[in-house]
């Protein structure tokens, strides 16, 4: 998707040659002196257009306007969520129309953040998956010209960030959407190498032998039942100074989760191809970094394997030794995400990280707790939690902090190993996080449970590309000096 940004007045828009023109209307913006303004005034007087977020007015072949379609949409009270809803309503009203190039104009005040979220929402709504279709239809919308009456350097930066975010989201969606036979651990490794081709980036891929040598007995146990060899993917983005401690992103890369010997029921099991959405979000963030090139160091770790039942598969009750030295009793082979992540978390120690964030479709319990709106956020460090929460609000890719009281770890106790991999049903997303926390003691750590937010089920089945926006916002925020960041945050609150 190509974005450009220009300063423009309402009266200039009729001359712009787009397939469609979307005007986000603010109350009080109607001068009435120009073609589009007069048209809107007429509709308002007739009671056909109101200042309610998402209220839409559309015309075709308007005399004097180059764009075949013009859609005016109200942004209601002008809150960021209203802007997003307005743009999505305008796009929905264009459903079925051939729109390759689109002008997106704001008549009133629009913050850089609103512009970014609007651009990302539009790209999200116009995305289509095509990889495994025999006759792929090319995506229609490829060019978006954003414009507003006043355009600052911050708006231009926001549009650059939006373009990089969209590329990252689409990378994440692509890999998460692919069926498991088109997205094996080896395929993910190939994708990671391709993304890391650019300057300041590199990628190393370890196989079963190297992973054995590292002592990752927990990760290896999950991979035992699969005919596909596991891969441990290590990516580097070096935008900062050599001595700057990196942020480490760890993505759960279960390319298919059958549950193993503790097998899942058949209904909707196909959705377990999305169980590498955490890994896909790490690939997505690296794609974004390759475009945006912020001055920060980032490491990406992806433990990738299938979770399969087999004569060689790990069995309930088996005890394995993790890379940390802690022994784990695997009471349920379907709680495999934590088993691959714990070894990656231990591996992360070698980077002396400023923070480690793991991203995982970890528990069905998190879907029950938070649904598809907010990802579950768990953190051992309050500053890191606050930074991630704020990155979520700024990007519209929301999360919600969950507790980590030690009492929640009671159920993980067992006679037969240092820790069990499951506790009871109660508080399942929290007990999973408590398990991971045991392996993340040496640095500030956060865990994002994206089981509810990484994909949609039903008619809209497909990957969402979350939480690429949140992570990119967080990572780029680290390059801003603390004082400047404070200003940015208070402005955000005001908006």
Q: Please identify every residue annotated as catalytic.
A: 264, 338
When asked if residue 190 is in the footprint of ligand BES (CB under 6 A), the reply is no
How many residues bind Zn ion, per CB under 5 A? 4
329 binds Mn ion (CB under 5 A): no
| Sign of the C-alpha dihedral computed for residues 188, 460, 454 and 143 taken in this order | positive
Q: Which of residues 259-278 bind ligand BES (CB under 6 A)?
A: 275
Rounded to an integer, what distance in angstroms lies between the CA atom of residue 323 and that of residue 474?
Answer: 29
Question: Which is it for strands 327-330 and 318-321: parallel, antiparallel or unpaired?
Answer: antiparallel
Part in contact with Zn ion (CB under 5 A); list of ranges 25-33, 47-55, 249-257, 377-385: 249-257
In the complex, least distance from residue 259 CB atom to Zn ion, rounded to whole angstroms = 8
Backbone φ and ψ for 253, nearest 5 degrees, come out as -120, 50
For residue 268, what are its two tokens?
A: 């909707």
Question: What residues from 397 to 436 belong to the interface with ligand BES (CB under 6 A)?
Answer: 422, 428
Counting Cβ atoms within 10 Å, is residue 260 exposed (0-12), middle (13-18) or buried (19+)? Answer: buried
* Strand residues in 168-317 grouped as ranges (E): 201-206, 231-238, 247-251, 253-257, 297-307
Helix (H) or strand (E) holding 474: helix 468-477
Piece of the chain touching Zn ion by CB under 5 A; list 103-111, 146-154, 253-261, 297-305:
253-261
With binding defined as CB under 6 A, does residue 257 bind ligand BES?
yes
From residue 442 to residue 481, the character string flagging contacts with ligand BES as x (rule: CB under 6 A) and all else as - is ---------x------------------------------
DSSP secondary structure letter of residue 141: -
Q: How far apart are CA 426 and CA 414, in angstroms?
A: 17
Segment lying near ligand BES (by CB under 6 A), choices 32-40, 359-367, 402-410, 458-466: 359-367
Q: Does 365 bind ligand BES (CB under 6 A)?
A: yes
The answer to whether residue 334 forms part of the interface with Mn ion (CB under 5 A) is: yes
Contact between 332 and ligand BES (CB under 6 A)?
Answer: yes
**Counting contacts by CB under 6 A, is residue 337 touching ligand BES?**
yes
**Is there binding between residue 364 and ligand BES (CB under 6 A)?**
yes
Complex with Zn ion: residue 257 or 358, whichever CB lies closer: 257
DSSP, res 180: G
Tokens of 459: 């008619």
- Judged by CB under 6 A, the stretch of 47-55, 80-88, 227-235, 335-343 that binds ligand BES is 335-343
Quick one: CA dihedral 156, 160, 165, 170, positive or negative? positive
Whether residue 467 has a cis bond before it, omega within 30° of 0: yes
339 binds ligand BES (CB under 6 A): no
User: Strands 297-307 and 399-401: what pairing?
Assistant: unpaired
Q: Which is nearer to Mn ion, 88 or 263 (CB)?
A: 263
Q: Is 257 in the site for Mn ion (CB under 5 A)?
A: yes
Q: Which residues bind Mn ion (CB under 5 A)?
A: 257, 334, 336
């Amino acid at each position: 998707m190509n974005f450009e940004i220009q300063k423009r007045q309402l009266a200039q828009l009729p001359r712009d040659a787009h397939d469609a023109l979307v005007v986000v209307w603010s109350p009080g913006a109607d001068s009435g002196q120009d073609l589009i303004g007069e048209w809107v005034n007429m509709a308002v007087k007739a009671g056909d257009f109101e200042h309610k977020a998402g209220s839409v007015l559309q015309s075709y072949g308007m005399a004097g306007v180059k764009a075949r379609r013009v859609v005016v949409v109200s942004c209601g009270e002008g809150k960021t969520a209203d802007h997003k809803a307005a743009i999505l309503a305008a796009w929905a009203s264009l459903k079925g129309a051939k729109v390759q190039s689109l002008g997106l104009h704001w008549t009133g005040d629009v913050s850089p953040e609103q512009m970014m979220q609007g651009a990302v929402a539009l790209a999200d709504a116009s995305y289509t998956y095509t990889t495994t279709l025999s006759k792929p239809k090319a995506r229609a919308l490829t060019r978006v010209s954003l414009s507003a009456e006043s355009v600052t350097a911050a708006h231009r930066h926001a549009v650059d960030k939006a373009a990089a975010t969209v590329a990252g989201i689409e990378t994440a969606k692509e890999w998460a959407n692919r069926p498991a036979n088109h997205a094996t651990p080896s395929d993910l490794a190939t994708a990671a190498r391709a993304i890391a081709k650019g300057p300041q980036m590199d990628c190393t891929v370890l196989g079963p032998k190297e992973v054995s040598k590292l002592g990752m007995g927990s990760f290896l146990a999950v991979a035992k039942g699969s005919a596909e060899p596991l891969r441990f993917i290590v990516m580097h983005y070096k935008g900062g100074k050599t001595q700057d401690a990196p942020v480490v992103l760890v993505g759960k890369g279960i390319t298919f989760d059958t549950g193993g010997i503790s097998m899942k029921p058949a209904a909707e099991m196909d959705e377990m191809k999305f169980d590498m959405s955490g890994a896909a979000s790490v690939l997505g963030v690296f794609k974004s970094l390759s475009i945006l090139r912020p001055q920060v160091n980032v490491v990406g770790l992806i433990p990738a394997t299938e979770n399969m039942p087999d004569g060689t598969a790990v069995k309930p009750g088996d005890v394995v030794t993790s890379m940390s030295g802690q022994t784990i009793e695997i009471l349920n082979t379907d709680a495999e995400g934590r088993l691959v992540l714990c070894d990656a978390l231990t591996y992360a120690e070698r980077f002396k990280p400023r923070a480690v964030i793991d991203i995982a479709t970890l528990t069905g319990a998190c879907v029950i707790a938070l649904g598809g709106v907010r990802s579950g956020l768990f953190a051992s460090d309050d500053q890191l939690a606050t930074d991630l929460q704020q990155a979520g609000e700024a990007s519209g890719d929301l999360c919600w902090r969950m507790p980590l009281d030690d009492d929640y770890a009671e159920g993980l106790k067992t006679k037969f190993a240092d820790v069990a991999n499951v506790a009871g049903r109660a508080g399942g997303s929290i007990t999973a996080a408590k398990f991971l926390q045991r392996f993340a003691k040496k640095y500030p750590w956060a865990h994002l449970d994206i089981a509810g937010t990484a994909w949609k089920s039903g008619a809209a089945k497909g990957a969402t590309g979350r939480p690429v926006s949140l992570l990119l916002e967080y990572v780029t925020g680290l390059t801003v000096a603390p004082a400047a960041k404070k200003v940015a945050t208070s402005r955000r609150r005001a908006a």
